[in-house]
């Protein structure tokens, strides 16, 4: 079951989120630098397969929030900082033996008002080239995770990226994409089908739209979440992608909002484990 894992940004998450759920994979990010030696020991001790969500360690010189990237931003200095952060993460990925690194791209673009869309497109494609080149330099696979609002969060643009840079893969994020579907009319199922063949990993969390995200951030997946009520259809996405992706990562905390039922998040983990066991048989 090392294809199924949990995201972690604290050492104690290894026991609380990975091992206690009978998993053997983690996606690690934003650790204090002093924790890296112990993180490496724990990963080796428990034989945990791993990926990294950039950055593994937040640099002092990088803007907040640490998981943001500015690869489609008009400001050249911010793009330079993003590429510098990604390169540092790739160096750490080589040291840890990570399977791949997740990078946010395209990220929300705040400076598009009045900007020439052709210029933005040129910047975005150049950033894809730079990221692809870095991955090849270090021999580490890169999965780009898209979230919005961005004029480039669409299958036409992303197919252009993957067609031009075949070393890149896509990280499909159920929560961010469902939010885009609810708030801005993105075709959730069409997006999934439009990128099949390019998707390398899957992030699992849920919401019913922007209001949920603002109130609760990353809500754990749970079998009570009914798509007709606005939740992402997690069952359908896993059914479509399980056989082709390298990993499926629970990207939420282990706290389920009391206002939404206060469920035990482990019920969602077990639900997904049972589903993938059926798909694997």
Give the pLDDT confidence score for residue 114 in this predicted structure. Answer: 65
Q: Which of 69, 89, 91 is nearest to 80 (CA)?
A: 69
Phi-psi region of 167 (alpha: psi -120 to 50; beta: other; left: phi over 0): alpha
Q: Within this chain, do residues 86 and 192 fall inside the same structural domain, yes or no?
A: yes
Interatomic CA distance for residues 166 and 163, integer angstroms:
6
What is the biggest distance separating any 2 CA atoms in the chain, rounded to whole angstroms? Answer: 53
158, pLDDT greater than 70: yes
The first and second tokens of residue 29, run together, are: 């990010």
Interatomic CA distance for residues 163 and 165, integer angstroms:
6
**Across 193-198, average pLDDT:** 94
Q: Within this chain, do residues 147 and 194 fall inside the same structural domain, yes or no?
A: yes
3-state helix, strand, coil in the chain (%, to 5): 45, 15, 40
Q: Within this chain, do residues 39 and 176 fall inside the same structural domain, yes or no?
A: no
Q: Within this chain, do residues 101 and 68 fall inside the same structural domain, yes or no?
A: yes
* Domain end call among 53, 72, 97: 53
Give the pLDDT confidence score for residue 139 in this predicted structure. Answer: 98
Is residue 85 within 8 A of residue 59, CB to CB? The reply is: yes
What's the total number of domains in the chain?
2
Q: Within this chain, do residues 89 and 67 fall inside the same structural domain, yes or no?
A: yes
Q: Strand runs (DSSP E) across 125-266, as ranges?
A: 141-145, 168-173, 199-204, 247-250
Interatomic CA distance for residues 114 and 217, integer angstroms:
31
**Across 185-212, average pLDDT:** 95
Among 99-103, 173-177, 187-191, 213-217, which stretch is predicted with the lowest mean pLDDT? 187-191
Q: Which of 215, 206, 217 is nearest to 67 (CA)?
A: 217
Segments forming the whole domain that contains residue 258: 59-280
Looking at residue 195, the DSSP 8-state letter turns out to be T
Task: Please state whether the predicted TM-score (pTM) of the whole model is above 0.85.
Answer: yes
Among 33-47, 98-112, 182-196, which stretch is predicted with the lowest mean pLDDT? 98-112
149, pLDDT greater than 90: no
């Amino acid at each position: 079951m090392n294809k199924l894992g949990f995201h972690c940004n604290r050492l104690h998450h290894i026991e609380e989120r990975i091992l206690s759920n009978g998993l053997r994979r983690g996606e690690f990010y934003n650790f204090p630098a002093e924790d890296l030696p112990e993180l490496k020991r724990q990963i080796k001790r428990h034989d945990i397969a791993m990926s990294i969500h950039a950055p593994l360690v937040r640099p002092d010189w990088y803007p907040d929030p640490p998981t943001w990237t500015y690869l489609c931003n008009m400001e050249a200095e911010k793009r330079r900082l993003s590429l510098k952060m990604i390169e540092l993460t790739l160096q750490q990925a080589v040291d840890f033996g990570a399977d791949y690194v997740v990078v946010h791209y395209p990220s929300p673009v705040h400076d598009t008002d009045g900007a020439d869309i052709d210029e933005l497109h040129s910047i975005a494609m150049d950033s894809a080239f730079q990221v692809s080149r870095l991955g090849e330099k270090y021999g580490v696979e890169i999965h780009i995770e898209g979230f919005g609002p961005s004029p480039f969060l669409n299958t036409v643009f992303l197919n252009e990226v993957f067609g031009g840079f075949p070393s890149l893969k896509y990280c499909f994020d159920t929560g961010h994409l469902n939010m885009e579907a609810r708030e801005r009319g993105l075709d959730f199922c069409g997006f999934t089908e439009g990128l099949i063949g390019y998707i390398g990993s899957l992030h699992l969390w849920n919401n019913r739209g922007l209001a949920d995200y603002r109130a609760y951030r990353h809500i754990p997946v749970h079998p009570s979440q009914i798509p007709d009520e606005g939740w992402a259809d997690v069952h359908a996405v896993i059914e479509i992608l399980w056989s082709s992706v390298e990993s499926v990562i629970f990207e939420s905390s282990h706290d389920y909002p009391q206002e939404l039922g206060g469920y035990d998040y482990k019920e969602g983990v077990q639900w997904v484990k049972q589903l993938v066991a059926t798909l694997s048989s």
